[in-house]
Amino acid sequence: MKTFVTGATGFIGASIVRELLKDGREVRAMVRSASNLFNLKGLDVEIWRGDLLDASSLRSGLKGCDILYHAAADYRLWTRNPDEMYRTNVGGTTAILEAALDSGFSRVVYTSSVGTLGNPGNGMPGNEDTQVSLADMVGPYKKSKFLAEREAEKFFARGLPVVIVNPSTPVGPWDIKPTPTGKIIVDFLKRRMPAYLDTGLNLIAVEECARGHILAEQKGCPGRKYILGNANLSLRDIFRMLQEITGIPAPKVRLPYAPVLAAAWLNEGLSRITGLEPLIPLAGVQMAAHHMYFDSGRAVRELGLSQTPVVEALSRAVEWFRTNNYA
């Protein structure tokens, strides 16, 4: 039987495909007609062209498979039309899980995000059980992923053996878009980071994040959530690591939050008029008001998630971006 992977051309999805192939698994990769197939080039996978919004076609795509990794998502910090993001992240998740339930899948791994979890906001790490509500979600991406995670929980209650994983901030190769975090690395390499905000992230190597998905399939408890993360680092510390890797000086000026927030609001207003992506995404600045620190102890204890130094992942990301002419 084959393993079905949605979002297979994306950053996390392509890494999941690679880890599955290392294990000798047969993979059917779902791609959209307009997808960039660069991340799947040369890989021994079956390509299936489909769309999460075409619910009627999903059952044919899933036929002959019994494991599903649902990693597809619309991941942007800004969109002129939030309804599109909700249709993909919530509606698409509902459609693929309904099809998997009807097809009798033996295991489903749903890729959520730490953005759906509670965060104390005082520098202390959040975990899978930290209290949170929809009102705590900032921006359409986090709100849509929060609602999609609730859908996954409903399907578990209906009998679908779904395990939820919440990746933190993966870094490494194959970040073709790039993701907002990858863009930070690219901007640093282009010397476009003259200053920084006092915020923080939890980083993990994208390869370990992908392996964590497989561990969740094999060892995870259906209905349970697992944070796939590693090191909690301030943005200043991340820039210092990049300085050590590249020799490019890290920014030394810390920006006050209020004027950056005001500039983001202004950018947001202009973008709604022009339709162009803002230089300073409002949702990103609002998220930066808190250190996004998380505790991945459950995944380490119950799944055996590896925790190698993230400086190695940052080094691989730098090398990949340079090799592929991003910087």
In 3D space, the residue among 235, 217, 208 whose CA is nearest the CA of residue 312 turns out to be 208
| CB 224 within 8 Å of CB 166 | no
3-class state of residue 46 by DSSP: strand
* 144: its two tokens: 């849509």
In 3D space, the residue among 142, 42, 45, 50 whose CA is nearest the CA of residue 99 turns out to be 50
Query: Does the reported pTM lie above 0.75?
Result: yes
3-class state of residue 225 by DSSP: strand
Q: Average pLDDT in the 287-309 region?
A: 93
- With bands split at pLDDT 50, 70 and 90, how would you rate the model's confidence at 81? confident
From residue 128, alpha-carbon distances to 152, 165, 171, 240, 303 in Å are 15, 10, 21, 29, 14
- Give 13's contacts (C-beta < 8 A, 6+ positions apart): 5, 6, 7, 29, 39, 69, 71, 72
- With bands split at pLDDT 50, 70 and 90, how would you rate the model's confidence at 146? very high
Q: Average pLDDT in the 14-25 region?
A: 98
In 3D space, the residue among 202, 175, 169, 209 whose CA is nearest the CA of residue 319 turns out to be 175
β 253-254/195-196 pair status: parallel
Asked if residue 30 has pLDDT above 80, the reply is yes
* 113: its two tokens: 């995000």
